[in-house]
Structure 1
């Protein structure tokens, strides 16, 4: 969205919304005002029409009064008092009727009611005079004969004469019937929607306009409503058919109700016209306001910005002759001034750059001449150095020959020493002390032999006589041997050893397997030696670009500085004297390993940080002599399992089988007693602990979560509590913390597959006395249980029956079938928490049954979930990993059944 659209989208609503709101308020106010005006207008209209009637009647009354008091008329009347009126009376009446053309009838009536003479405008309704009552005062009334649509006005005026006693005597009455033109008098128009009614006080209609539209009477309820509104000087609504009439009324002569109104639809039409006018005004206002805002923004903001952008583009093209106008004194004027100053500075900097480039070229020329002279001097020095190198090489060859000879001379007596020692040990002397001393001699001899071999390798390296023997072999078998040898070292120091394949990796390589294993063992052993706590991780991956395999060894050990790392591959070098005293060693291993790496077509590099650990990267060619090689790619752990069976741990499994077949005749020095509480949610692990504790003849209880463990620990007494850290309902950390808060001081040991340093610290912080790593080391486990219950540090105990182990393993494989179904359902439902829980269970339990491949694969998938759960491609990749895990389980079950 461009800038002007953005500004308009912000400013226009701020202008148009208030205008629209004000328009709505104005519209509502105009409606109310119009209603008020209509009501006022109706009141004024009814008053006007009533006043017209009053003016009309008053005018007639004045004319009749004048006639009744006219002397000639009275004289003529007195002359005919005897019973016959003179012609003068009739003349006067005719004259009056001609002047007031609305006159229908005009007559003289005697005091007793006899009609003396009559002027008749028409022959109809001659008896209308009888409807006028004889009164002594002047008044008028409406007369509605049957054959007349509009009411007539009847008026009676007494004729008085003075008597002797100054009393007035009624001589007779002048009666007049008038037929006024009501529409003209009241100024009523149909086109305007006028409605007019005259009714008596009972609701009978005496007159209505338009004629015949309103019937003959007003309904009682409607009349009462109209009458009450008239009494309170208000307007009211009267429904006439389907129309609603807005009426205002007034009482006339105390006996007639005059009502004037207009059709509400006509009023609404006027209102609609006003509404449309108001709406058009509001819309025009909004349009004009929007156009004004757009014009001003375009002029005041957008145009200066465009000018600035165009100027910037020209400057970017190297055109510095541009200058922006600064006539405006606003912010844009200041910005343009700053831009002009910047352009001037760029011109200055450009000139300085040009001068600097010229000076630099001159200096380069000078330095080139100096370098030529220096090269001549260096050439002379190189000749001298070459001579010194030859002398040094001769000295190195002599040194290597000496080392080879002395090594040979030392190895000769050492062979005898070690051979005789091994022979004596084979004869199994009865004296245990002597046997221990001979074992120490043999160990020292082997250490000395290893040292001599290293020194001899260094001498061969320096003499350039170290050869390699290239063969084709299975790289995974070699890695298995390495892992087997390293596992014991890591376990002795309670370190976590992690070995990862990053597939694809070729199955076969052509290189020196002995030297390759030597390098791998040296790097990994060093990592274990210099790591007190934490882990050692070995990652293996194939680099297709240069056909090499890269091995990365990462530890969490003591680390080293950059200066030490640079001198690390020099003979007899270690970090410092304190390291030599603390860890031992000659400093030859890495020197030999680096040279062997070169012979294997690769190299070794190191990065390290003091206190955080080190990382060694070793790479080697998969075909060091470019001979014929069987190209077979292993793309996953599943492929590897299909190719070799259970790859990881088969050596460990063999070691465990050897262990379980050994029969130890000695009995426990003390009988172990105590009650143990085990909190473990995996059924197979529960069965394993049951067998282990049964072999010690201990009383125990097993629960499935932390909540049950708390309940048992609070209601019963135990001598030892073994607490799994990850369980449903409540985990081990929370359960341990709550037990310590409740005052339970029973020894509690954590059961977990996570034994990193920070994990151990969390266990201790929660109140655990220690940690037992999964998979369970049977020797260490049973030693720990006995030491806690009997306070014995080291004991001998009978081996676990092999038949029980095989039965337990078969039960675990059957349980894995059900667990595979559960994992498939979790994967279908995309239940990440459920999947991670099952991965953790397999990681912690499979290794206890020598299923190291399965344990390692589950641990890798669990780690993948933690690290990549927010990635876009997480679920597709996870599905591939899970399918690999399930296929591995199926292969294991199939292999066991065969």
Structure 2
């Protein structure tokens, strides 16, 4: 059976091959014959269209010359002509300006006077002048005294002539050679050229190798026609010209076949003869013909081979499909593992702030009798809660990040508060690994910029989280921030951010792919470290969306540095004028850069400060000033210094100068860890790094009598919201209890409705002005918040403009936009930040 199949296939293949050869031999002969006819047809079409184009160009050129002739008369109005001599001079000057080589006048009785260019002999003068006098547009040619051929045009004009008559026509001429160049009738790169002839065949313009005085003589002398005599062809051409019709033919002259086309020219008795050498079309079309033949033969062979391969392919198809299914399975498993790894990493990242929240809650519960400690714990719980909320938002927004639709919410933020928040979040991780951490602040032009705060936190936390993971115990992690002028203009500031560590570093190969999604270095050094490989890709995406850049420098076992540049819009400085008394301070820090930048920042707020780079020098400087009775007003000590640390330095200073000089500890670490020991050593307080100008100001201001009194006055002048009524639409009882508790503590009276419909009914049943504001949840049963807000706005009441504030867990940019479009005044996201809510209420509540 298999043998019969093979025999059948071979016989079929031979028969198909023979049939293909026979068919293609016949097709080849037929195509060669058709190729010649096609060349003639294409040549005729081409020459016809080209002739029409040249004819239209000729008409356009003639209209241009007529326009120029009108320009000559326009420059010399006939009614202002002042004598024959003057008129002739002015006309001649104008004609030369407009490019005419000849100008003459004709009177009504046939008198002629040349104005420019001398005497000429006009071809068909009577017919030419008669046509012009009758108002027709007419052109002809003439010979000047030098034998040069001119193209003549004319128009009616009345100018005084030298013989005392008044002219009826103004005739102008240009060299026929100029016309030839303008129309590009000579042989060019395409080898196509043209003649202009009269009805009798004589040349007006002659090009190429034509030596005869008549084109018809050239045909008769050299023409060779298939089945026709030259005289018969000349007769047909003459008949077509007499009828004003187009005519095409193929002629062989001197062994060269040429496509020739005749077309009449407007406003003349002339014909345009365009010539295309047959070889220009024959060569490409013949090559195309043989290419098609070769391709067809090749195609036949391909078809035969395809038939053979089809049978083989059929048997292999199932095996290949199984392989593809196996590959798809592995890809799906890989994607599943990547997603699982991502969720594992997110679990780790979520647990970090959760650990801080739970730990600070436990500490707060153990220190209920210590208000300062309790306040510090609550502050850190709030910061960690915000970070946790940011992570949750990132998870919910992941699909948008992957699809390239990440949206940024550029709002005003404080870099000082951002860096404080980052410091508090990463401190527990750094403490657990016993690493050294510091933040250095360089020159800062403005602490307030417009940026997406959540995304900026995400950038810092991604980088610092990696630094903590891949830096061993005892290693160092640093963050440096400085500002300079931005190339984007005075409204922007360039933020130079560096995150550095002394960790395990990266290989050069991995550095090339670190910003790719789900990418991790597959070495024994990092296998035990959890991570998705997604953080750096997201970081790069966010920075790109902000219009910034990120660069990486790393060496294996030497550490890593990420350098970020962000040009951010400057924000208005929200801090009041910061200026301290002209104190003299001592700043002690083993990092020279930090010490000098702190001194510079103190100088900007009016304080003169000295530097010391170790504890021993600080003690010596303090003792020397004390002996000179020029004690420092305040001493700022870094906690972690080699040799003598901040606490030991404070003890030595107290031994020599007593307790009068305030000593403050500066550190990026948690003050609560060392507060008891620091107080015992004589340290009066703590200033947390990073040392922004405002950080130093608010840390030192309490030691000034002026600002101490001002702070006490500010605390006494709190906003009073007693009796202000708020209508709350919220379907969740726990949320109602939280809002009621938080706002009632500030004097607000809260009335609760459980859905949008109840909210509208309660509002409409109240007298105008009864409620001061409406807090509106968005997702509620019966009627949602969007519809409720619209109905309140459309109620027609005098207080329909009551402030309506969206209070919802729908926190994305499009959700905020939809709330505002439905008529709400502002938006606040759950979980509620009471400070933010009070700020919004203060902004929108009417004064009473």
TM surpasses 0.5: no
The structure carrying a bigger helix percent of its residues is: 1
Q: TM-score range by the shorter chain?
A: under 0.3
